[in-house]
C-alpha cells in the first residue's frame, strides 16, 4: 500500500511539472505593467524605441540575439508576448514576411501595430530570382539615415497614441535622437567624400544599397537579398577578377553569418577582410553589453574609412 502511495505521489508531481512546463511554454514573458509595453521585431527598431520611450517604456526584442532575421519563425511564447504588448513594431512586409502571419494571428485588438516603414523611400532590389522577383525592394531601410529618422518618428507617434499625457517627453526624445542621426549622416558624408576608393565588395547578402546610393559609392554583393542565395562559380570568378582589376585591398563581410565567401575572395586575391554590419540583429554578447545602433554605425564608418582608404 505504501508503495502504491509513493508511486501515486510521484506521478502527481511529474504531472504537475509537465503541466507547469506546458503552461510556461505559452506564457508571455513578464513585462512591466507600469510602463508602455513594446515588442519590436529587429534590433534597429528595438534601439529606436528604447531611445524614444526612455524610462517610460519596457521594450523587448522579438528576434533572439544571434539569430539571423530573414527566416525567423515566432514561437507561441513570442505570440503571447506580442498579444500582451501595447505596441508591436515591425520594419515592413519586405523585411519580415513572417510579420504578416503574426499580425493576422493576433487576438488583442488593443495592441497598436506600427509599420515603421510607412513614409520611407524604398529603392529597388538589384537582385532578382524566384524569391525576389523584379519589382522587389531592398528592405534594409534603416541604413539610410533619412529613413531611420522617419522610422523613429513613426515609433514616437505610437508612444504618443498610447500615452498622450507624456507627448512632450516623447517629442523631446525623438528630437534629440533625430538630431544625433543627422550628425551621423553628416559625419558619413564628410568622411566618405575624401576616399581614394569608392567601391565596396561585400562577401555577404545584398544589404548596403541605401548607404551606397546616399554617399555615391559603388557596391557589389556576392549574394542576393536573401542570405540563403549562393553565388555561382562564375559569379565568384567575376568577383575575383573585379577585385584584382580594380586593385581592391579590402573585402567586407557580414555579421551573424559565415564569412566563407569573403574568406574565399580574400584567399584568391590577397585582399584583407573587414566587418560591415547591416544591424538586423546583434550577437548575444553585444546585446548583453548594451551595444546601440549608433555604435554599430560608428564601427561601420571606421571600417569603411580603412577599406576605402579615406582621408583622416
Dist CA 20 CA 224 (whole Å): 44
| Model confidence band, residue 120 (pLDDT cutoffs 50, 70, 90) | very high
Q: Where are the domains of the chain?
A: 36-186, 192-307
End-to-end C-alpha distance for the chain, whole angstroms: 85
Q: What CA–CA distances, in Å, run from 187 to 169, 170, 195, 297, 305? A: 27, 26, 14, 11, 11
Cβ atoms of residues 265 and 222 within 8 Å: yes
Q: What is the mean pLDDT of residues 107-127?
A: 89
Instruction: Please give the pLDDT value at position 32.
Output: 66
Domain 36-186, CATH among 3.10.620.30, 3.40.50.1980, 3.40.50.1860, 3.90.420.10: 3.40.50.1980
Cβ atoms of residues 91 and 148 within 8 Å: no
Instruction: Please give the pLDDT value at position 227.
Output: 60
Same fold, 36-186 and 192-307: yes
Q: What is the pLDDT of residues 12-70, one digit of tens each?
A: 444 343 333 333 333 334 566 689 999 999 999 999 999 999 999 999 999 999 988 77
Third-level CATH fold of 192-307 = Rossmann fold (3.40.50)
Least confident of 47-61, 89-103, 129-143, 260-274: 129-143
Instruction: Please give the pLDDT value at position 127.
Output: 56
% of the chain surpassing 70 pLDDT:
84
Q: What is the pLDDT of residues 270-299, one digit of tens each?
A: 999 999 999 999 999 999 999 999 999 999
Residue 27 DSSP one-character state = S
pTM for this model (two decimals): 0.86
If you count them, how many residues does the chain have?
312
Q: What is the mean pLDDT of residues 97-115?
A: 88
Amino acid at each position: 500500500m505504501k508503495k502504491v502511495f509513493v508511486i501515486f505521489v510521484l506521478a502527481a508531481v511529474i504531472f504537475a511539472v509537465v503541466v507547469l512546463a506546458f503552461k510556461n511554454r505559452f506564457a508571455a514573458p513578464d513585462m512591466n505593467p507600469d510602463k508602455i509595453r513594446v515588442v519590436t521585431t529587429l534590433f534597429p527598431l528595438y534601439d529606436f524605441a528604447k531611445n524614444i520611450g526612455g524610462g517610460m517604456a519596457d521594450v523587448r526584442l522579438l528576434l533572439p540575439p544571434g539569430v539571423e532575421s530573414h527566416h525567423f519563425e515566432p514561437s507561441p511564447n513570442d505570440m503571447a508576448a506580442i498579444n500582451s504588448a501595447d505596441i508591436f513594431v515591425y520594419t515592413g512586409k519586405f523585411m519580415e514576411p513572417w510579420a504578416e502571419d503574426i499580425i493576422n494571428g493576433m487576438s488583442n485588438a488593443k495592441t497598436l501595430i506600427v509599420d515603421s516603414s510607412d513614409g520611407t523611400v524604398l529603392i529597388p532590389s538589384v537582385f532578382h530570382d524566384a524569391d525576389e522577383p523584379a519589382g522587389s525592394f531592398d528592405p534594409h531601410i534603416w541604413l539610410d539615415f533619412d529613413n531611420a529618422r522617419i522610422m523613429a518618428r513613426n515609433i514616437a507617434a505610437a508612444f504618443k497614441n498610447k500615452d498622450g499625457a507624456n507627448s512632450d517627453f516623447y517629442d523631446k526624445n525623438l528630437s534629440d535622437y533625430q538630431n544625433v542621426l543627422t550628425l551621423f549622416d553628416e559625419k558619413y558624408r564628410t568622411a566618405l567624400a575624401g576616399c581614394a576608393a569608392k567601391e565596396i565588395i561585400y562577401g555577404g547578402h545584398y544589404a548596403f544599397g541605401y548607404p551606397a546610393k546616399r554617399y555615391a559609392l559603388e557596391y557589389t554583393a556576392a549574394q542576393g537579398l536573401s542570405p540563403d542565395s549562393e553565388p555561382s562559380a562564375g559569379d565568384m570568378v567575376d568577383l575575383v577578377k573585379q577585385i584584382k582589376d580594380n586593385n581592391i585591398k579590402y573585402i567586407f563581410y557580414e555579421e551573424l553569418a559565415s564569412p566563407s565567401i569573403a574568406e574565399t575572395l580574400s584567399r584568391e586575391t590577397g585582399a584583407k577582410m573587414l566587418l560591415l554590419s547591416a544591424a538586423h540583429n546583434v550577437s548575444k554578447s553585444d546585446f548583453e553589453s548594451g551595444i546601440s545602433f549608433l555604435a554599430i554605425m560608428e564601427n561601420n564608418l571606421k571600417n569603411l574609412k580603412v577599406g576605402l582608404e579615406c582621408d583622416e
